[in-house]
A and B are shown apart, each in its own frame.
Chain A
Amino acid sequence: MAKVVVVGAGFAGHYAALILADALKGKGNHEITVISRVPKFTYIPSLVWVGVGQMAAEDVQFDLKPVYDKVGINFVHGAVTEVHPDDKYVVVEKPDGGTQQVNYDYIIMATGPYLNFEGTPGLGPDKGYTQSICTPPHATKAASAYLELVSRMEKGEKVKIVIGTGHGAATCQGAAFEYISNVHNDLVDRGLRDRAEILWLSNEPALGDFGIDGLEMKYGGQIFTSEDMVQFLFEKYGIKWQIRSHVKQVDESKIYTIDLDGNENEIEYDFAMLIPQFKAQPIKWIDKDGNDITDKICNPAGFVKVDAVYGKPYAELDGPDWPRTYQNPTYKNVFAAGIAFAPPGPLSKPQQAPDGSPIAPAPPRTGYTAELSGKAAALNIVDMIEGREPSHTASMAETPGLCVASLKHHLLSGEAVTIAIYPVARNRAAYPEYGRDLDNCVAEIGLAGAWFKWFLHHAFLYKLQAKPGWKLIP
Chain B
Amino acid sequence: MATKRDMMEKMWRYRKNLFVQLFRFIVLGLHFNKLVKKVH
Query: Hey, which bits of chain A sit against chain B, CB under 8 A?
Result: 219-222, 224, 228-229, 232, 236, 372, 394, 398-400, 402, 413, 415, 418, 420, 422, 440, 442, 444-449, 451-452, 474
Shortest Cβ distance from B12 into chain A, in angstroms? Answer: 7
B21 near A447 with CB under 8 A, answer: yes
Q: List 12 A-B contacts (CB under 8 A).
A: A222-B7, A229-B8, A236-B12, A402-B35, A415-B15, A415-B16, A420-B31, A420-B32, A442-B28, A448-B22, A452-B25, A452-B28
> Contacts A420-B31, A420-B35, A422-B35: A446 and B14 contacting too (C-beta < 8 A)?
yes
Chain B residues near A440: list those with CB within 8 A: 31, 34-35
> Contacts A400-B35, A402-B36: A448 and B21 contacting too (C-beta < 8 A)?
yes
Shortest Cβ distance from B39 into chain A, in angstroms? Answer: 5
How far is A121 from B17 in the complex, measured between Cα atoms in Å?
46
Query: Hey, which bits of chain B sit against chain A, CB under 8 A?
Result: 1-2, 4-5, 7-8, 11-12, 14-18, 20-22, 24-25, 28-29, 31-32, 34-40
Closest A residue to B35 by beta carbon equals A400
How far is A291 from B28 in the complex, measured between Cα atoms in Å?
52
**Quick one: which of B5, B16, B36 contacts A447, CB cutoff 8 A?**
B16
Shortest Cβ distance from B4 into chain A, in angstroms? Answer: 6
> Contacts A413-B16, A447-B15: A400 and B38 contacting too (C-beta < 8 A)?
yes
Sorted nearest first, the 3 A-B pairs with minimum C-beta distance are A400-B35, A448-B25, A447-B21
Closest B residue to A393 by beta carbon equals B39
Chain B residues near A229: list those with CB within 8 A: 8
Shortest Cβ distance from A171 into chain B, in angstroms? Answer: 22
Chain B residues near A446: list those with CB within 8 A: 11, 14-16, 20-21, 24
